[in-house]
Structure 1
Amino acid sequence: MNTHFASSPSEPGPINPDWTIAQLLEWLSDDVRQHDVTLQHPLARIEALLTGARWARTPSTVALIRSIAAAVRDDPARGSIRISELSPQQAPRMSERIPQLA
């Protein structure tokens, strides 16, 4: 996959808003990206818009990736949604999440 960098501050950093959620997950499959703290804020925004989740504490990048992947596993159609198409109006409302220790 080609890596693109967002040019506008309103866009989610190195994450291309034209990517689908499936493409985002493919890009995130690189181990280095899974622990990149600079992705935490954009992933949190994407995850919240996709799942409607609210976290009790700031989730790790890995937890956010797992949540996004679980949302796609639960509803495969979400994988074809483009990041730029996500909006607060379509986000489902979920109860607060409390991270569990593994």
Structure 2
Amino acid sequence: MNIHVTDQAVDWFMDEMDLEQGDAVRFFPKYGGTCSFQKGFSIGMAIGSTEEPEVETEKKGIAFQVDEKDVWFFGEKDLYIGLKDGEVEYSDQPVE
């Protein structure tokens, strides 16, 4: 599994969440909602590093992470994060 974040999405996180270089955003499964990874779940996010980062990518000085206990949710799929209509979108396919 890898995390792919577009430059536009990084800018959104920095602006909307008031992030600075050196900050981290972690992604985790959240019960309820819909997504392309698991039925009945959606993707949650929080500012801060994971306890045990299993997957991590850094862009513009911001770390994007998934903890080892949450990797099951994504399976063998990559996490793609982009902007669509001005909002962050998560997918198992590139966001255009």
TM-score, structure 1 length as denominator?
0.22
Select the structure that is richer in helix.
Answer: 1
TM-score, structure 2 length as denominator?
0.23
Select the structure that is richer in strand.
Answer: 2
